[in-house]
Amino acid sequence: MHAQFADHPGQIRPESLPGTKQDALANWEWAKKYCLPLFGPYEDAMAQEEPGLFHTRISALLNILRLLPRQVVKEVETLQLPLASKEGFIRQILGWREFVRHVHRETQGFRKRTPKAVKPGDAGYTKWGNPRWRASKNLGDLDGGARPSFLGGKWSLPAAFWGVPSGLNCLDQVIKSVWEDSYSHHITRLMVLSNIATLLDVSPRDLTDWFWIAYTDAFDWVVEPNVLAMGTFGTGPVMTTKPYVSGAAYINRMSNFCGNCEFNPKTNCPVTNLYWAFLERHKLELQTNPRLRLPFQNLKKRGQAKIQKDNEIYAVVRKVLAASTRLTPQHVDSVHSNFLLDKP
Ligand SMILES: Cc1cc2nc3c(=O)[nH]c(=O)nc-3n(C[C@H](O)[C@H](O)[C@H](O)COP(=O)(O)OP(=O)(O)OC[C@H]3O[C@@H](n4cnc5c(N)ncnc54)[C@H](O)[C@@H]3O)c2cc1C
Ligand code: SF4
């Protein structure tokens, strides 16, 4: 197996993939016993040393029908579990999973509304990862899927997504775990990977192609609504009412990544500057969104000088990551000091 797929991205660790029916059932028994009791209370938490936390890791098994959604929901209904866990888990399957399936079917993967990529993309793998890897040559008339970009994001994914350290500990840790497990849980997908790519104006299609390549649970009908619509707001308010973006305060509150990072979430973390610069750049599309009223009020209070600094930090971060180099506090501090020199 190693020889056959040597040019493919990621590592092959057979023990992290339930291959047989017995493995699938063992995974589900483990999930019921050890994950579900704490699933509800810690559903949105992220931990550096425990990438899966109390998530069940059954998505790939459900998607290939090794486990059936009806079966897991029925079983969970009868378990003695805290209400938050029971409700939270059933909502994910009956709510989100079913919902994205319908969205994909009704919109034909958003192809009904948006232009298509002419051929399937590789999200930069042959550029940043392994130039010898080639997707199947027999693509027939396959297109590359819809490429909506409501906010105009058009940049390529930085090499960080292929394992080159970015210096942002949250991003680097999640990406490392994805290349080890071909998996990460919902909040790391949404609030670290998609968040940072969206704040950098990465093309939603490029990010979707990356998820498709990197995760064992990725199927078109589930990866596309989750990334093109929910993760990047690429389709605008078709599926979600606002973009899921945040600065360092959220990541610091919900995880322990920041304690192990060279940046400080309260002083010089560039993710916070990226967040404000994002709101400023996308004022036109977003400021009338009622769910973003508060962030835009806060942006106004931030004042022109700080906003200019946010924009400069955004430009530096993009440049450093696009050059496949590692961001350091010095890069960010240089903007701070230039800024102080320029503006007495
Ligand atoms: C940017 C992004 C990309 C995603 N890509 C995929 C993907 O390619 N394939 C995939 O199966 N899921 C995807 N999801 C949804 C969700 O993150 C995964 O289903 C979940 O993290 C899988 O881990 P788990 O089995 O441990 O889930 P748990 O947290 O234990 O949840 C239980 C189950 O609920 C279902 N579920 C929860 N949220 C969603 C959702 N938003 N959409 C569909 N099903 C959901 C899954 O079947 C999951 O196995 C994505 C989410 C985001 C934000
Ligand atoms: S300080 Fe910033 S870059 Fe570092 S882990 Fe926290 S949010 Fe991520």
- Cβ of 208 closer than 6 Å to ligand 1, yes or no, is no
- In this predicted structure, the answer to whether residue 342 has a pLDDT above a threshold of 50 is no
Ligand whose nearest atom lies closest to the CA of 274: 2
Ligand whose nearest atom lies closest to the CA of 250: 2
Residue nearest atom 28 in ligand 1 by C-alpha distance: 55
Kindly give the number of the ligand 1 atom that is closest to the alpha carbon of 52.
Answer: 26
Dihedral angle computed from the Cα positions of residues 40, 259, 163 and 244, in that order, rounded to the nearest 10 degrees = 50
Could you read off the pLDDT of 129-179 as tens digits, one per residue?
777 766 666 777 889 999 999 999 999 999 999 999 999 999 999 999 999
- Cβ of 196 closer than 6 Å to ligand 2, yes or no, is no
Could you read off the pLDDT of 86-120 as tens digits, one per residue?
999 999 999 999 999 999 999 999 998 899 998 88
CB 274 within 8 A of CB 196: yes
Cα 24 to ligand 1 centre (Å): 17
Average pLDDT, the chain: 93
| pLDDT attached to residue 2 | 65
- Cβ of 66 closer than 6 Å to ligand 1, yes or no, is no
Residue nearest atom 47 in ligand 1 by C-alpha distance: 59
Could you read off the pLDDT of 257-302 as tens digits, one per residue?
999 999 999 999 999 999 999 999 999 999 999 999 999 999 999 9
3-state secondary structure of 46: strand
- In this predicted structure, the answer to whether residue 190 has a pLDDT above a threshold of 70 is yes
- In this predicted structure, the answer to whether residue 339 has a pLDDT above a threshold of 80 is no
- Cβ of 199 closer than 6 Å to ligand 2, yes or no, is no
| pLDDT attached to residue 336 | 64
- Cβ of 58 closer than 6 Å to ligand 1, yes or no, is yes
Could you read off the pLDDT of 228-268 as tens digits, one per residue?
999 999 999 999 999 999 999 999 999 999 999 999 999 99
| pLDDT attached to residue 343 | 46
Q: Measured between alpha carbons, how far is residue 254 from residues 47, 155, 246, 303 in Å? A: 8, 28, 12, 28
- Cβ of 55 closer than 6 Å to ligand 1, yes or no, is yes
Residue nearest atom 6 in ligand 2 by C-alpha distance: 258
- In this predicted structure, the answer to whether residue 215 has a pLDDT above a threshold of 50 is yes
pLDDT band (50, 70, 90) for residue 341: very low
Neighbours of 266 (CB within 10 A): 11
pLDDT band (50, 70, 90) for residue 127: confident
- Cβ of 248 closer than 6 Å to ligand 2, yes or no, is yes
Kindly give the number of the ligand 2 atom that is closest to the alpha carbon of 173.
Answer: 5
Could you read off the pLDDT of 20-31 as tens digits, one per residue?
999 999 999 999
Sign of the CA dihedral 17, 23, 26, 32?
A: positive
* Spatial CB neighbours of 92, under 8 Å, sequence gap ≥ 6: 186
Residue nearest atom 7 in ligand 2 by C-alpha distance: 248
Cα 265 to ligand 2 centre (Å): 6
| CB contact burial 187-216 (16+ within 10 A = b; e otherwise) | bbbbbbbbbbbbbbbbbbbbbbbbbbbbbb
User: What six digits make up the tokens of 238?
Assistant: 């078709």
Ligand whose nearest atom lies closest to the CA of 222: 1
| pLDDT attached to residue 58 | 97
| pLDDT attached to residue 1 | 61
Ligand whose nearest atom lies closest to the CA of 101: 1
